[in-house]
Structures are given as C-alpha cells and as structure tokens.
Structure 1
C-alpha cells in the first residue's frame, strides 16, 4: 500500500488559526507583569481593602462589601478589555507586529478576534479569583440565577464596549500616547467613573452624565442586578457604546 505524500499547500482552518492566535495573545498577556498587576492584583487589593471604604467615602445605605464587590468586578473588566488591550495593541502596532501579521495568511478579523479571545480568558480568570474572594469576605448577592445571567450579559456588553474603545485609541494614536491616555482614563474612571461609588452618591447633574458613561453603566448595572433589580437600561447603554465605538474603530483603525 502506497502513501499519498502529495503536498497540499493552504492555510489552516479558521478555527485552528483563531485558537492559536488567542493562545499566543493570552500567553503574552500573562507574561507581562505590569498587565497582571493591572488586571488582577489591583482589583483584588481594592476588594480586600474596600471593606473599610465607608470610613473614607460615603457609599450610602447598605453593606459595604455588597457595594464594593460589583464595582471591583466592573473594574476588572475595564482594566483588561480597555487599558490592557489598548496598550498591548498600541505597541504591537508601533513595532510592526500588526503589519506583519496582517500580511500573513491570518485574516485581520481573526487577529482581532484572537485578542478578544485572550481578553475573555483573562476575565474568566479574574472572575474565578474575585468572586470567591468577595463571597469569603461576606458578599451576599441577591437575585439568584437571574442576577448572574444579567451579570454575564453586562460583562459581555462591557467587554465589547471597552474593547472597541481600547482598539479605537490604539489604532489611531501613537503607542506612547496610547499608553498615557489608557492609564489616565483608567485612573479617572477608577476615582470618579461610577465604578466603586454608587451613582446615587453623585450630584444630580453628574449622576445623569455617569449613567450614560460605560464605566457608570457597568458598575451601577452590576450593583442593581446583584441587589435583585434589572440591568436592562445599563445593558442598552453598553450596547450603544459598543456599536458606536465598534463602527468608529472599523473606519479609523490603522494597522501601521
């Protein structure tokens, strides 16, 4: 019996390329100590230290851990899907990595989906660490399975919205400017973006603005669903940002 050794040139199936690209992106993210600090260590520290946040900031009625925990989950999404993604993509673009990969058989859509897949994997790790820690600290989420379904939808929508904004910055600004802007936005949203402090504690005008800002919508949405409420309005806000930012990214992203 003879073996068929005829060469069969061609690209790998899209699924195989996507898995390989997502795996490589994930390894690169986890090897970067600064990104690990940003995406996991800082939210974890804020979760542990946040149990005494009411001694510094008026968080309003309710148990402190029940207010802080959803905000930390929202912060984890922001740090990974916006800040980390924007910085890594910006420097990939600067050093010509995107240009070279864009010229390979790897479709550009698969390249971007690989980055999204890596972000999703990191977020899964974050939630696997942060949620049990919050529960151990006394967090008591309400709403049962419905609340968790809402939470998953909000996290997905928030990831897409922040990811599109991160790619928009990385695809239009220089790497150094992307680094500065991404870190500045992270700090500003952490301090006053509606992540850690309920929007009810903001002045009326500021509260109305924060309700339509992605960070405010995600943070307040998670607090609402884990208090037994609905996350429909925040979800619609995040989907709107995802659509607008995604369209802007498609039209303006520069690969080199």
Structure 2
C-alpha cells in the first residue's frame, strides 16, 4: 500500500488545480471578507479576522479534498480502477490510501490562509496553536471519503456538478463562509449536525487554546463511518461493472 500512496502523492503534486482550489481562491476570499470586518467584531469566541482565517482555511481544505472525487471519476472512465482491481491491493486498502492522499491536499490551504492572516491582520498565535491549526488536515478525512464516494459512484459528467453542489452546500450551511451568528435558529441547529461546522470547530477551538468537544468529535466520526462505507461500496461496484 505504501508504494500506491507514493504513486498517488506524485500525481497529486503535479496537478496545477491544487494551487487554484486550495491556495489562491481561499486566500483571495479571506483578504476580501476579512477587510469588511471591524476590529471589535467577535465570531466563534475569537476576533473576526482570526475566526474567518480558520473558516476559510477549512473552506479551501474541503475544496481541495473534494476535488479529488472528480479525478477519481475520470480514472474510472479510462479503466484505471479496473486495472487497480486486478492487483493484489485489497479494495479497502485502495480506498484508505486514496483518502489519505486526498486529505493531504487540504494542507496548503491551511498554511496559505494562515500566512495571509499573519501578514494582513497580524494574527498572533503561539507556536503550539499554529501547529494545532495545521492538524486540521486530520479533520478532512470525512470529506475525502465523500469525494471518493462521489467519484467511484458517478460518471464524470455527473461527478463534477454533484461534487460542487456538495461542497457549496456543506460550506455555506456549515458556516465556513457565513458565520452562524447570522443564521436563523433552524439553520444554526442544522449546522451543528454537519461535518463542515464540526471540522471548522476543531480549528476555532485549537486557536482559542481549547480542547475539541465530545459532541463535535462524535459528529465527525459518525460522518466518517457513513462516508467510508459508501466509498467502499461504490469502489467495489464501479470495478465490478467492467
């Protein structure tokens, strides 16, 4: 499995779309949105510039991780998954390896938006809290599995729009773009059940020096299990057809 992970990492590093979705877009959005806030604004228990930095770092990370789903659907179309199926690599290991590589595509966004926050708004965090923020990549696991489920389960013509709709819906409703403060009560309650909000919550609490909540971790774990099961099923189904 390690050889397959190295192979996928090399492919990912050569993909120019990684910089577009996970670096340029989130950084520009952060610079625009954070410039509209005043110095005294508070969001998620943090000053607005820091809270938006974490939210948009998560936004870019989710975008990068989910974009892998579109690539998977293209691999299916050219028969790559069928070739992979006849190798000794078990289906479960193939899904796990692909998901692991996918999560790493979220790291550039966290780094880039963090640098933008430090330069643009002089966001001050201790070394430990910057490291804790970098560990947000661990929280991208459910989104990596969702992207794989879409890529394995749908044709390329459908995977891309479904991927985009899933990303946009989860990002907006999960509070990555619009703070929950501005949500009505019903949508606020919905957001707490979504993996995107709980993912960003990891970052917000890490930056504030607080431990993750048990409920937040439980929600992320539940979505991870669901998406893992769907991704494994879609992988077996997609390779069995050919």
Same fold (TM over 0.5): yes
Does 2:239 correspond to 1:250? no
2:83 aligned to which of 71, 93, 100: 100
Q: Which residue of 2 aligns with 1:229?
A: 210
Query: Is the 1:198–1:220 contact (alpha carbons within 8 Å) kept by the matching residues of 2?
Result: no
Q: Which residue of 2 aligns with 1:198?
A: 179
Q: Which has the larger radius of gyration?
A: 1
Query: Is the 2:117–2:123 contact (alpha carbons within 8 Å) kept by the matching residues of 1?
Result: yes
Q: Which residue of 1 aligns with 2:190?
A: 209
User: Which sections of structure 2, spanning at least 5 residues, go unmatched?
Assistant: none
> 3-state DSSP class of the match of 2:220?
helix
Q: CA deviation at 1:178?
A: 0.7
> 3-state DSSP class of the match of 1:54?
coil
From the superposition, tell whether residues 174 and 217 of structure 1 become closer, same or farther in structure 2 (CA, over 3 Å).
same
Q: CA deviation at 1:250?
A: 2.2
Query: Is the 1:26–1:118 contact (alpha carbons within 8 Å) kept by the matching residues of 2?
Result: yes
Q: CA deviation at 1:31?
A: 3.0
Q: Which residue of 1 aligns with 2:30?
A: 47
Does 2:95 correspond to 1:112? yes
> 3-state DSSP class of the match of 1:178?
helix
Does 2:42 correspond to 1:30? no
User: Which sections of structure 1, spanning at least 5 residues, go unmatched?
Assistant: 1-13
Q: CA deviation at 1:74?
A: 1.1
Q: CA deviation at 1:176?
A: 1.2
Q: Calculate the aligned-residue CA RMSD, in Å.
A: 2.8
Q: How does 1:79-90 map to 2 (within 5 A)?
A: 79-81=63-65, 83-90=66-73
- 1:126-153 CA distances to partner (integer Å, 9 max, x unpaired)? 33333233222322347x737854872x
Query: In structure 2, what is the Cα distance between the partners aligned to 1:66 and 1:146?
Result: 12
Aligned residues: 233
Query: Is the 1:66–1:141 contact (alpha carbons within 8 Å) kept by the matching residues of 2?
Result: no
Q: Which residue of 2 aligns with 1:240?
A: 222
From the superposition, tell whether residues 148 and 237 of structure 1 become closer, same or farther in structure 2 (CA, over 3 Å).
farther
From the superposition, tell whether residues 112 and 210 of structure 1 become closer, same or farther in structure 2 (CA, over 3 Å).
same
Q: Which residue of 2 aligns with 1:145?
A: 128
Query: In structure 2, what is the Cα distance between the partners aligned to 1:159 and 1:187?
Result: 16
Q: Which residue of 2 aligns with 1:3?
A: none
- 1:10-55 CA distances to partner (integer Å, 9 max, x unpaired)? xxxx4xxx2x322332333333333431122211222222322438
From the superposition, tell whether residues 28 and 53 of structure 1 become closer, same or farther in structure 2 (CA, over 3 Å).
farther
> 3-state DSSP class of the match of 2:210?
coil
Does 2:161 correspond to 1:177? no
From the superposition, tell whether residues 147 and 236 of structure 1 become closer, same or farther in structure 2 (CA, over 3 Å).
farther
Query: In structure 2, what is the Cα distance between the partners aligned to 1:107 and 1:225?
Result: 36
Does 2:47 correspond to 1:66? no
